[in-house]
Structure 1
Amino acid sequence: MSKAPSVRALAAEALASIALSGHSLREAADRALPKLADPRDRALLTALLNDGARWWPRFDAALDRLLEKPIRRSEPVIHALLVTGLVQLETLQLPGYAAVAATVEAARELRRPRLAGLVNAVLRRWQRERETLIAELDAVPATCHAHPAWLASAIAHDWPGHAEAVLAAANQEPPLMLRVNRRRASREAVAAALVAAGQEVALHPWLADGLVLPHSTDITRLPGFADGHFAVQDGAAQVPADLLDVQDGQRVLDACAAPGGKACHVLERAHVSLLAVEYDSPRAGRIRQNLERLHLEAEVVVGDAGDTSAWWNGQAFDRIMIDAPCSATGVIRRRPDVRLHRRAADIDVLVAQQSRILSACWETLAPGGRLLYVTCSLLRQENEGVVGAFMAGRDDASIVPFTLPIGQAAAIGWQILPGDGDLDGMYYALLERRPA
């Protein structure tokens, strides 16, 4: 019988694929986790991947100081293994001797026995020179907060006075937030069932369907999940249903709809006819799965939201939600691999796509109807920049003002920054189409 792979060896291979080969954290975790049977090993692997991706820019830079010659290209898996070693020592704060010994053994398991001594030497040197190295890393915003330099600079430019807090919040473990499906259960009943199952849970103070658990857990094992009583959804993503204010009988478009959380929330609020448009076929499948589990109905179409000729039948919508493709810079605390994959050059491409979708979908909105433009970006170029350019010179659109209990007004719309109310970062702009 072959020996089961160790957590650290699996983590090194998966982390290398994330940080150095461009795979998503979700993809890498989905491949690696089934290879482990022990729940404790699975939990450690998850922590190593999440914290490895989150702190990669910091510890990758540390390895440039610790190694005489870089090995990220010649030995990418060992480079990633060293990052997991630093994560164990600094982030997870595992006992030093055990963490180093297990990481060295993982190098042998990865068929790199000649590099086991190097792994041991690098991690031991970190332990000896830790204070000096940490001071050097903390002196630079990009390595202090483990963000790529371009993003740290962009956040400082767009949010002066908030940048330090935003960068720090992106590295904090987010709470687990649930959205209760009010068609299937009351929020109080779901909370009581979770408490009875041993979970710590609180009612969100101003989101009517929100529950907050302090830590992540296997939601599929929670009471009510299989019956569609709730879904996982950050509080910032629960705001759109409030802003849209849907009413029974309305026609609603959810453009760029995957994975379907916001569409499902709308359907839980009112009896509406909802069309969900999603460009990516596998992601459209996730919308259908969520609808089925929550006992909701909608029409799901695979298509480009910016090409209405492919999916629109000419009947106008009363409400439109555009959850636009964006840089995802507001959700880095939940998707730490974003900081490894997003590039400054991506922003202009995203802005062009956002503008095209907004202009196309606007033409399907009924007079007197409302359109909500949403991104999970912190960058003004993708947010009020896109909406402002769209509004320029138009006489058929007006901005609908609103405020939220947290966040701040943007030049147009409203911005929640990461950590505001312990929510993710998200931008909203609500537009109304004037009657002709």
Structure 2
Amino acid sequence: MQIAQQLAAEAVHQVLTGRNLGVTLDAMFSRQRSLTPQQRGMTQDLSYGCLRQYGQLQALLNQLLQKPLQDERLRCLLLVAIYQLQQARAASHTIVDQAVQASAQFKKPWVKGLTNAVLRNFLRQQDVLVKNIDPTDDVARYSYPQWWVNKLRHQYPQEWKAMLLAGNQHPPMTLRVNRRHLSVEAYSQQLADAGIAASELGGSAVTLTQPIPVERIPGFLEGDVSVQDAGAQWAAPLLDLAPGMRVLDACCAPGGKTGHILELADVDLVAMDSDAGRLRRTEENLQRLKLKAQLVTGDAADASGWWDGRPFDRILADVPCTASGIVRRHVDIKWLRREADVASFVRQQALILPQLWQCLAKGGKLLYATCSVFHEENQQQIDRFLQQHADAKQLPLSQDASPHARHGQFYPCAAHDGFFYALLQKN
């Protein structure tokens, strides 16, 4: 447990200094090759959990300190240990003792005593400390930056609290059944026969009651299913595909929606992304599914570098965004994003849309997609585009995909993450 505690504290510290959590953990695990699968799993669990509840944990720690800590790594170790004590998945004395031992790395005589005192005081006063959190402190209450809370409160006067709380939950593990191979009903029976509890969500989506490693998912290696959030599974059906169409999947990596497009229809698909490394993940996904597409490395904001001039009947524009709708899966986003980043993504999206639009055939359809919940990146972006392009019209979506979706905006909820879709047609 101690090594996982130390590594998680270091991972949290790295995120708070601006590094991506996934990249940080991958680098750690590549250096620490002697770690057992259990130690890796615990390190990941502690890192994600601490960052998910970071605002509240920081408010609790502040009450336990007489003055702010100067050593950020020690602060992160204490935050991880407090998170462990809250979860009560191990004996409290073991968690405290191992945190005290881990604090020896800081090589200061007073650190062990401080660590022991802070954590034992937390155990004695836990309920009182939680009650004493300032009810007006949104960062502590919701564990999001204040600007984020303010934005959602303004843009979603009725839903903002539920959206924040949903983003702090553990995400479900949802599968997309490859209906080229078998029906959803047949696959659900396979799961039942394997003793894996699951429920059907409509379309091709099946959610597991408890997440399991992908290697234990029946049919995964054979391409019968893929792991994909239920909200993300609406992109391909909304494209209104038909056999023989020429289709572009722009900003395609890592290829989840790419595979779904090909599962639904025999189309001539070009899958394009600016990151050659991530494009290889798309290729690997297609190989597992036994599907083929033309893979192109290119910048969606500059069609001259990759487009051959042949128009597309359908385009999926899965544009870069703040990813504010998927924070329960990527907990570091809350603390890595800055308010100014929203405007930066908006500018990037505004460059991409007209470039892709010129590649669309007359009468063709473009599906604009983000995994964001911020209006600036979503309907406001579309409204500006429509004002500037007289040959574009926004079509109503085929149906309300979820009770937690309205006008193309999927709110994060128990069933799915937050997404936005807008279907445009060229007159």
Give the TM bin, normalised by the shorter chain: over 0.9
After TM superposition, the structure 1 = structure 2 runs for residues 12-411 of structure 1, keeping only pairs within 5 Å, are 12-19=9-16, 21-33=17-29, 35=32, 37-71=35-69, 74-91=70-87, 94-108=90-104, 114-137=110-133, 139=135, 140-204=137-201, 206=202, 208-402=203-397, 403-407=399-403
In the alignment, the residues of structure 2 paired with residue 111 and residue 239 of structure 1 have an alpha-carbon distance, to the nearest angstrom, of 54
- Which whole-Å deviations, capped at 9, do the CAs of 1:348-407 have from their partners, x for residues lacking one? 111010111111101111111101111111111110110000001532111111231425
In the alignment, the residues of structure 1 paired with residue 210 and residue 26 of structure 2 have an alpha-carbon distance, to the nearest angstrom, of 20
Partner of 1:433: 426
In the alignment, the residues of structure 2 paired with residue 260 and residue 113 of structure 1 have an alpha-carbon distance, to the nearest angstrom, of 52
In the alignment, the residues of structure 2 paired with residue 372 and residue 408 of structure 1 have an alpha-carbon distance, to the nearest angstrom, of 20
Q: Give the deviation of 1:231 after TM superposition.
A: 1.0
Contact 2:365 2:425 in 1 (8 A): yes
1:385 maps to a residue whose letter is Q
In the alignment, the residues of structure 1 paired with residue 236 and residue 134 of structure 2 have an alpha-carbon distance, to the nearest angstrom, of 40
Number of residue equivalences: 423
Q: Give the deviation of 1:42 after TM superposition.
A: 3.1
RMSD: 2.1
Q: Summarize the Cα distance change of 1:92–1:153 in structure 2 as closer, same or farther, 3 Å threshold.
A: farther
1:52 maps to a residue whose letter is C
Q: Where in structure 2 are there 5+ consecutive unaligned residues?
A: none
Q: Summarize the Cα distance change of 1:181–1:112 in structure 2 as closer, same or farther, 3 Å threshold.
A: farther
2:159 maps to a residue whose letter is H
In the alignment, the residues of structure 2 paired with residue 323 and residue 136 of structure 1 have an alpha-carbon distance, to the nearest angstrom, of 44
2:158 maps to a residue whose letter is G
Q: Give the deviation of 1:68 after TM superposition.
A: 2.8
SS at match of 2:129: helix
In the alignment, the residues of structure 2 paired with residue 23 and residue 198 of structure 1 have an alpha-carbon distance, to the nearest angstrom, of 39
Deviates more, 1:334-343 or 1:124-133: 124-133
SS at match of 1:345: helix
Q: Give the deviation of 1:81 after TM superposition.
A: 0.9
In the alignment, the residues of structure 1 paired with residue 288 and residue 22 of structure 2 have an alpha-carbon distance, to the nearest angstrom, of 21
In the alignment, the residues of structure 2 paired with residue 193 and residue 313 of structure 1 have an alpha-carbon distance, to the nearest angstrom, of 44
- Which whole-Å deviations, capped at 9, do the CAs of 1:61-88 have from their partners, x for residues lacking one? 33333223323xx423221111111111
Percent of aligned pairs with the same residue? 37
Q: Give the deviation of 1:220 after TM superposition.
A: 2.1
- Which whole-Å deviations, capped at 9, do the CAs of 1:108-163 have from their partners, x for residues lacking one? 36766752221111112222333343234361222111000000110101100111
Please, what TM-score do these two structures have when normalized by structure 1? 0.91
Contact 1:174 1:215 in 2 (8 A): no
In the alignment, the residues of structure 2 paired with residue 306 and residue 241 of structure 1 have an alpha-carbon distance, to the nearest angstrom, of 22
Q: Summarize the Cα distance change of 1:138–1:375 in structure 2 as closer, same or farther, 3 Å threshold.
A: farther
Q: Summarize the Cα distance change of 1:408–1:185 in structure 2 as closer, same or farther, 3 Å threshold.
A: closer
Contact 1:9 1:109 in 2 (8 A): no
2:362 maps to a residue whose letter is P
1:95 maps to a residue whose letter is A
Contact 1:407 1:415 in 2 (8 A): no
In the alignment, the residues of structure 2 paired with residue 231 and residue 320 of structure 1 have an alpha-carbon distance, to the nearest angstrom, of 22
In the alignment, the residues of structure 2 paired with residue 391 and residue 136 of structure 1 have an alpha-carbon distance, to the nearest angstrom, of 50
1:120 maps to a residue whose letter is N
Q: Where in structure 1 are there 5+ consecutive unaligned residues?
A: none
In the alignment, the residues of structure 2 paired with residue 92 and residue 214 of structure 1 have an alpha-carbon distance, to the nearest angstrom, of 22
Deviates more, 1:25-34 or 1:10-19: 25-34
Contact 1:9 1:110 in 2 (8 A): no
- Which whole-Å deviations, capped at 9, do the CAs of 1:150-186 have from their partners, x for residues lacking one? 0011010110011111111111112100111222333
After TM superposition, the structure 1 = structure 2 runs for residues 2-17 of structure 1, keeping only pairs within 5 Å, are 6-17=3-14
Partner of 1:414: 408
- Which whole-Å deviations, capped at 9, do the CAs of 1:210-229 have from their partners, x for residues lacking one? 11112322112322121111
Q: Give the deviation of 1:277 after TM superposition.
A: 1.4
SS at match of 1:374: strand
Q: Summarize the Cα distance change of 1:16–1:366 in structure 2 as closer, same or farther, 3 Å threshold.
A: same
Please, what TM-score do these two structures have when normalized by structure 2? 0.93
In the alignment, the residues of structure 2 paired with residue 92 and residue 22 of structure 1 have an alpha-carbon distance, to the nearest angstrom, of 29
SS at match of 1:15: helix
Q: Give the deviation of 1:281 after TM superposition.
A: 2.0
Contact 2:2 2:99 in 1 (8 A): no
In the alignment, the residues of structure 2 paired with residue 5 and residue 98 of structure 1 have an alpha-carbon distance, to the nearest angstrom, of 9
Q: Summarize the Cα distance change of 1:418–1:408 in structure 2 as closer, same or farther, 3 Å threshold.
A: closer
In the alignment, the residues of structure 2 paired with residue 393 and residue 361 of structure 1 have an alpha-carbon distance, to the nearest angstrom, of 14
- Which whole-Å deviations, capped at 9, do the CAs of 1:174-205 have from their partners, x for residues lacking one? 2100111222333333333333333212222x
Contact 1:374 1:429 in 2 (8 A): yes
Contact 1:166 1:417 in 2 (8 A): yes
Q: Summarize the Cα distance change of 1:130–1:246 in structure 2 as closer, same or farther, 3 Å threshold.
A: same
